[in-house]
């Protein structure tokens, strides 16, 4: 693994007096796709929000060698592009304008007044997610799959070195799940550190460089997919046994029966 770009040490989060994360330690490189998996309520979404500085934390987070706590809110927004669960827009704005909102951390507040740099970032993000064809269509007229790709284009337009995506494939059909994971894989290959929360162990095994497994607010396994998603981990954490195979040189993991 390359030198760490994003690190967390002794990370803990309490919400409403309840411990949600406890003593989490991470060291993740750039140009990497990390899948985060775990049972419902394990703390996955909270960990994403903690890394982006969106919830109070104990412990220390550094990005590119700088302490997150020392960065301004604007600088944090430039370092982390965050896609929350179910993110979509309810305003009847053209898809292009929705994507242009990703330039807000760079000082752009009006989609009608983009700089040349902004326009290039928006165009590249829309091309990367294959939404250029409906750039002028109102977001409210797009299908669920199309909206999800526009939402992803918006966070890509930030051009942040870290992209945090919380269940971006939820509620999508099989084709669009694969599309979204390929877009995230391409972003990682281009240099971005991508962290994606997913409940699909098969997608995690196929697309991720490494997998983090959370349970009860603690990191219980991490490493290459075959290691982190071992039979022992699946049985203990998810209480399932899995079917394993390979196809076209890629791993296949399918939860098969209760353990």
Query: Are 36 and 214 in contact, with CB atoms under 8 Å apart?
Result: yes
| Tens-place pLDDT, residues 117-139 | 999 999 999 999 999 999 999 99
Q: Is residue 51 part of a domain?
A: yes
Q: Is residue 166 part of a domain?
A: yes
Q: Phi/psi at 107 (nearest 5 deg)?
A: 100, 0
What pLDDT does residue 144 have? Answer: 85
Q: Is residue 92 part of a domain?
A: yes
CATH of the domain at 197: 3.40.50.300
CA dist 123 → 48, 112, 156, 161 (Å): 27, 14, 10, 18
Q: Phi/psi at 52 (nearest 5 deg)?
A: -85, 0
Q: Is residue 85 part of a domain?
A: yes
Full domain range(s) for residue 32: 6-258
Average the pLDDT over each of 9-13, 62-66, 83-87, 136-140 and give the range with the smallest value: 83-87
- If DSSP codes are grouped into helix, strand and coil, which group holds residue 46? helix
Query: Are 172 and 145 in contact, with CB atoms under 8 Å apart?
Result: yes
SS3 content of the chain, % helix, strand, coil (to 5): 40, 30, 30
Q: Is residue 1 part of a domain?
A: no
Beta-bridged to residue 246, according to DSSP, are: 251
- The predicted model scores a pTM of 0.94
Number of domains the chain contains: 1
Which value, to the nearest 10 degrees, does the dihedral of the CA atoms of residues 153, 197, 27, 68 take? 60
Q: What residues contact residue 2 under an 8 Å CB cut-off, 6+ apart? A: 29, 30, 31, 32
The burial of 110, by beta-carbon neighbours within 10 Å (0-12 exposed, 13-18 middle, 19 or more buried), is given as: exposed
Rounded mean pLDDT, 99-117: 89
What pLDDT does residue 1 have? Answer: 57
What pLDDT does residue 18 have? Answer: 93
| Tens-place pLDDT, residues 137-172 | 999 999 888 998 999 999 999 999 999 999 999 888
The pLDDT > 70 percentage for the chain reads 98
Query: Average per-residue pLDDT in the chain?
Result: 93
How far is Cα 259 from Cα 247, in angstroms, rounded to an integer? 25
Rounded mean pLDDT, 80-95: 86
Q: Is residue 240 part of a domain?
A: yes
pLDDT exceeds 80 at position 89? no
pLDDT exceeds 70 at position 41? yes
């Amino acid at each position: 693994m390359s030198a760490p770009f994003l690190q967390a040490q002794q990370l803990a989060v309490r919400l409403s007096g309840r411990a949600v994360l406890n003593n989490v330690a991470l060291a993740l490189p750039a140009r990497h796709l990390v899948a985060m998996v775990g049972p419902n309520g394990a703390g996955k979404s909270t960990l994403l929000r903690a890394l982006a500085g969106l919830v109070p934390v104990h412990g220390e987070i550094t990005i590119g060698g700088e302490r997150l706590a020392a960065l301004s809110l604007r600088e944090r927004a430039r370092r982390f592009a965050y896609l929350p669960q179910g993110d979509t827009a309810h305003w009847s704005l053209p898809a292009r304008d929705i994507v242009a909102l990703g330039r807000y951390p760079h000082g752009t507040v009006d989609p009608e007044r983009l700089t040349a740099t902004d326009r290039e970032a928006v165009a590249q993000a829309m091309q990367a997610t294959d939404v250029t064809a409906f750039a002028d269509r109102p977001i409210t007229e797009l299908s669920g799959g199309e909206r999800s790709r526009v939402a992803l284009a918006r966070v890509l337009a930030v051009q942040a070195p870290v992209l945090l995506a919380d269940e971006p494939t939820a509620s999508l059909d099989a084709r669009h799940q694969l599309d979204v994971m390929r877009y995230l894989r391409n972003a990682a290959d281009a240099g971005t550190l991508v962290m994606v929360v997913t409940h699909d162990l098969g997608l995690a095994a196929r697309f991720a460089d490494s997998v983090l497994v959370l349970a009860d607010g603690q990191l219980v396994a991490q490493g290459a997919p075959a290691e982190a998603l071992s039979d022992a981990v699946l049985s203990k954490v998810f209480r399932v046994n899995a079917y394993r195979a390979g196809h076209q040189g890629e791993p296949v993991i399918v939860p098969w029966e209760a353990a």
